[in-house]
A = this chain, B = another copy of it.
Amino acid sequence: MTTHADDLTQRIGAPVELAGVAVRRPSKVREGIDPALITTDATALLKRGDIDIAIEVIGGIEPARTLITTAFEQGISVVSANKALLAQDGAALHAAAEAGGRDLYYEAAVAGAIPLVRPMRESLAGDKINRVMGIVNGTTNFILDKMDSTGAGYQEALDEATALGYAEADPTADVEGYDAAAKAAILAGIAFHTRVRLDDVYREGMTEVSAADFASAKRMGCTIKLLAILERAADGESVTARVHPAMIPLSHPLASVREAYNAVFVEAEAAGRLMFYGPGAGGAPTASAVLGDLVAVARNKLAEATGPGESAYTQLPVSPMGDVVTRYHISLDVADKPGVLAQVATTFAEHGVSIDTVRQQGKDGEASLVVVTHRAPDAALSGTVEALRKLDTVRGVASIMRVEGE
């Protein structure tokens, strides 16, 4: 048996040496790391003059951004796991890498250990990706899976996720979809060879998803997932990027992604439908992705070459959410009297939205209407909901959820 360092040496073609580790809390005991390597001055480490590759796993915008830029100025290639920074400033960082003739690799930033960045930017480099749809946040998938399997409400499922270490003390970045939106921006840029920033991604969290929504989903043969969906418009002239909860049929492969696992569907013109599945987070899986990048960057260094950089030549614009074509599942509380359905149906028709199915339930003068639409632009669908809210006979809109995956 060889040791792990020996394996890296064999695979790279030269030994790699850990030159230093910058941290915030120098006194913390770190097993297996020589204390002499620890420093709190990351900048000094980068400027030491004998560093070839820096691994950035600090997270957040600053000081990560400045440190990465410093690395490129020093001729140091960078491996990063920082989705927030890449989604916000990817273009500038790629430009800095290119200016310095160095690599910027970030497989770990999207879907943890699942090889996704490399397959999309290398394996599919001769193909045309039209659509990407995936579960890219493990915390929210764990919560939604619990709600689905136990009938628990959102808060109860979140508490369990927190107790088990699947959710952080402040779960905002996960449950409000910021984390997934950052990954969506990165993947959209790679998929469509254009620039997509975090702000371009439509984002809806999953804190409003209720046990009642799951009951509705079940009646439709569906479950609910927080999805990142990236699409090329039918005319090929623009793209859309969005993160929101959606109902998907139980027969869809993404429906059976359980617990904190991630999975991403990629549809390409020639390759067809591919799926990538695995652990989307966690220390060891993330380390696997980081080390894979390290080997690639070290090999490039030895060959005095760089790997593929940013590819944004298509310059396709990102269209707003209103242009996305999707389907809605809408639950309405309505007055239980004749003519209500006709009124509701007229409202849909006036907005050019065609209805797929309606289910009507009534008791004690109250009734509910559940409407599932055919595909229509999101703007027309949300316009319909606005108009429905104004109808006398509609007491309230109990829930709205998009339906995907058919």
Interface residues of A (CB under 8 A from B): 1-2, 4, 7-8, 10-11, 107, 113-115, 118-119, 122-128, 193, 236-237, 253, 256, 268-279, 282, 284-285, 287-296, 299-300, 303-306, 308, 311, 313-314
Contacts and interface: CB of A to CB of B under 8 A. Distances in A.
Given A270-B285, A303-B305, A290 B118 contact: no
Nearest to A263: B275
A271 B275 contact: no
Contacts of A237: 1
Nearest to A311: B11
A208 to B, nearest CB: 31
A272 B289 contact: no
A119 B126 CA distance: 16
Contact of A276 (B2, B125, B276, B294): B276
A193 B284 contact: no
A296 B125 contact: yes
Contacts of A296: 122, 125
Contacts of A236: 1
Contacts of A123: 107, 115, 118-119, 289, 292
A290 B273 CA distance: 17
B271 A279 contact: yes
A308 B303 contact: no
A233 to B, nearest CB: 11
Given A107-B123, A270-B287, A279-B272, A115 B113 contact: no
Given A1-B236, A253-B277, A287-B270, A128 B7 contact: yes
Contact of A278 (B272, B293, B308): B272
A278 B271 contact: yes
Contact of A125 (B1, B193, B269, B292): B292
Given A1-B236, A11-B125, 15 more contacts: A113-B268, A113-B271, A113-B272, A118-B122, A123-B289, A125-B292, A127-B288, A253-B277, A268-B288, A269-B284, A271-B284, A274-B276, A274-B277, A275-B276, A303-B306
Given A113-B271, A256-B256, A314-B2, A126 B295 contact: yes
Contact of A271 (B122, B289, B314): B289
B305 A284 contact: no
Nearest to A299: B308
Contacts of A1: 236-237
B268 A126 contact: no
Given A253-B277, A289-B123, A270 B284 contact: yes
A273 B268 contact: no
A236 B294 CA distance: 24
A294 to B, nearest CB: 6
A69 to B, nearest CB: 24
Contacts of A304: 305
A304 B313 CA distance: 23
A120 to B, nearest CB: 9
Top 4 nearest A-B pairs by Cβ distance?
A126-B291, A115-B123, A113-B271, A303-B305
A79 to B, nearest CB: 10
